């Protein structure tokens, strides 16, 4: 059953990689690795969008597996037809030296340990965390069992604690996997969680490697896999890790656009931001954050940049709007807006929030060690445009500010609501790690004096 559960995700993942390649046809070893990793989340995100449309149009679950295969065959055919006249050129490839091999091997060991931990957590918690079985897998069961009443998964009559208003990317992927297998199994959400967990790590590695060096990319992966909470939450089937994938993807794609000025990267960045909004309510906030960042950072060439970014997010955001207006119940965060706004002027609330933010940031990773590393070895930012660094930094700061604002006006008891803060910080931690290793000097330059 485990193999079958992994197999049902492959058509979506492969289709995602092919679509990324068709949109961004640049070749090269580093580029291909990046496309493969990016295709994991893009494919699964688009699969959930297509399944949602399929349910809306046909009002039934059966038959979607055939559509997935048809999409895959079509993308394979288009790719072969387009690539047939050309010969693949990997570009300049420098084999890794001894230092790089040592760091890469260390990253590989960390990945194996992360896999072992992930499997252990999954077997110990086969139903996942509370949010997993009560929100995402609960919605998937309603969809899978509901027949033509699948939309009841998002009924406004449900108690708010079930969060029926959450965007359904995770639930739809789980339900479509069950449809393909023909039965419910915890292995499908397990496999989905693993795909996003290791897909995020691969995307981080590929993103740093595309801009810096192999050694630097390996260090970034070591740091991410050294964050035990990230592995744990990725193995508990919650939506925070898929959301972190799309936040990281958007940031990296905007970063690479600032360097290469390839409009295809803008399309993919917009698509990733739109899929973030389709993943979780915090992803909707992130979408607006990314839009503000694009408008601000690239304001001098906005007439060229914005249409391509809009082209990328148009499809997922259209379905997010439809879902929120036509299907989802109201959010539980807005009850009495006037009294909630008054909480902004409560100094004790600010103090409690700031203390919790600092405490959770300290607990999530070895930030002190990274700070010491940065102080000792220094930065190595390329001279010229600061827009790639500014874009990523702005996304991180504004997203954290958004979290802070939501906590500030939350109608729920603050101590209870803050219990989820560390998961919100996990959503942006991969992008923080990417930005850090894009700035700090690489080990190759330190030990080889290059």
What's the pLDDT at 342? 77
| Residue showing tokens 């504004």 | 398
The mean-pLDDT minimum among 71-75, 210-214, 356-360, 438-442 falls in 356-360
Q: What percent of the chain has pLDDT over 90?
A: 61
Alpha-carbon dihedral 49, 53, 55, 56, rounded to 10 degrees = 140
Go through the chain and tell me how many residues it has.
450
Per-residue tokens: 397? 């700061």
**What average pLDDT does the chain have?**
89
Print the SS3 string covering 187-217. HHHHHHHHHHHHHHHHHHHHHHHHHCCHHHH
Stretch 273-297: mean pLDDT: 96
- CA angle in degrees (0–180, nearest 5) for 7-9-12: 125
Integer Cα distance of 54 and 67 in angstroms:
9
| Residue showing tokens 């970063």 | 255
What's the pLDDT at 253? 97
Integer Cα distance of 193 and 276 in angstroms:
15
Stretch 272-295: mean pLDDT: 96
What's the pLDDT at 393? 94
Would the pLDDT of 164 be above 90? no
The pTM score is: 0.94
CA atoms within 13 A on the CB side of 195: 30
Would the pLDDT of 132 be above 50? yes
Q: What percent of the chain has pLDDT over 70?
A: 94
pLDDT tens-place string over residues 298-349: 988 888 999 999 999 999 999 999 999 999 988 777 766 667 787 788 788 8
Integer Cα distance of 62 and 48 in angstroms:
15
Would the pLDDT of 450 be above 50? no
What's the pLDDT at 431? 97
More confident residue, 59 or 253: 253
pLDDT tens-place string over residues 179-205: 999 889 999 999 999 999 999 999 999
Would the pLDDT of 90 be above 60? no
Stretch 118-135: mean pLDDT: 90
What crossing angle do the helices spanning 347-364 and 421-439 adopt, rounded to 10°?
Answer: 60
């Amino acid at each position: 059953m485990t193999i079958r559960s992994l197999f049902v995700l492959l058509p979506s993942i492969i289709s995602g990689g092919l679509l990324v390649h068709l949109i961004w046809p640049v070749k090269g070893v580093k580029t291909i690795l990046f496309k493969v990793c990016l295709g994991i989340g893009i494919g699964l995100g688009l699969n959930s969008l297509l399944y949602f449309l399929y349910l809306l149009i046909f009002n039934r679950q059966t038959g979607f597996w055939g559509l997935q295969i048809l999409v895959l065959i079509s993308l394979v055919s288009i790719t072969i037809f387009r690539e047939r006249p050309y010969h693949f050129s990997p570009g300049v490839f420098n084999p890794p030296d001894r230092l790089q091999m040592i760091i890469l091997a260390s990253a590989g060991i960390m990945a194996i340990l992360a896999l072992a931990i992930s499997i252990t957590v999954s077997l110990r918690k086969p139903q996942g965390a509370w949010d997993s079985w009560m929100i995402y897998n609960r919605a998937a069961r309603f969809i899978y069992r509901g027949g033509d009443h699948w939309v009841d998964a998002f009924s406004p009559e449900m108690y708010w604690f079930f969060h029926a208003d959450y965007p359904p990317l995770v639930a739809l992927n789980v339900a479509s996997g069950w449809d393909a297998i023909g039965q419910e199994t915890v292995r499908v959400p397990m496999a989905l969680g693993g795909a996003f967990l290791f897909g995020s790590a691969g995307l981080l590695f590929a993103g740093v490697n595309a801009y810096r060096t192999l050694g630097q990319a390996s260090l970034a992966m070591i740091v991410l896999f050294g964050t035990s909470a990230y592995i744990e939450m990725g193995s508990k089937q919650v939506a925070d890790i898929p959301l972190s994938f799309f936040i990281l993807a958007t940031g990296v794609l905007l970063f690479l656009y600032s360097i290469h000025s390839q409009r295809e990267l803008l399309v993919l960045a917009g698509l990733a931001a739109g899929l973030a909004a389709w993943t979780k309510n915090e992803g909707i906030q992130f979408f607006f954050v990314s839009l503000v960042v694009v408008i601000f950072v690239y304001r001098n060439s906005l007439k060229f940049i914005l249409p391509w970014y809009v082209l990328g997010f148009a499809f997922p955001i259209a379905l997010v709007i439809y879902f929120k207006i036509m299907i989802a119940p109201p959010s539980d965060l807005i009850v009495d807006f006037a009294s909630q706004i008054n909480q902004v002027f409560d100094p004790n609330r600010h103090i409690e929030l700031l203390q919790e933010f600092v405490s959770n940031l300290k607990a999530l990773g070895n930030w002190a060690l990274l700070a010491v590393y940065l102080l000792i070895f220094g930065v190595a930012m390329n001279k010229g445009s600061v827009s790639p660094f500014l874009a990523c930094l702005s996304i991180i700061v504004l997203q954290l500010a958004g979290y802070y604002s939501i906590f500030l006006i939350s109608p729920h008891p603050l101590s209870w609501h803050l219990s989820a803060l560390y998961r919100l910080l996990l959503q942006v931690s991969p992008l923080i790690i990417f930005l850090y290793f894009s700035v700090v000097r690489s080990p190759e330059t330190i030990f080889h004096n290059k």
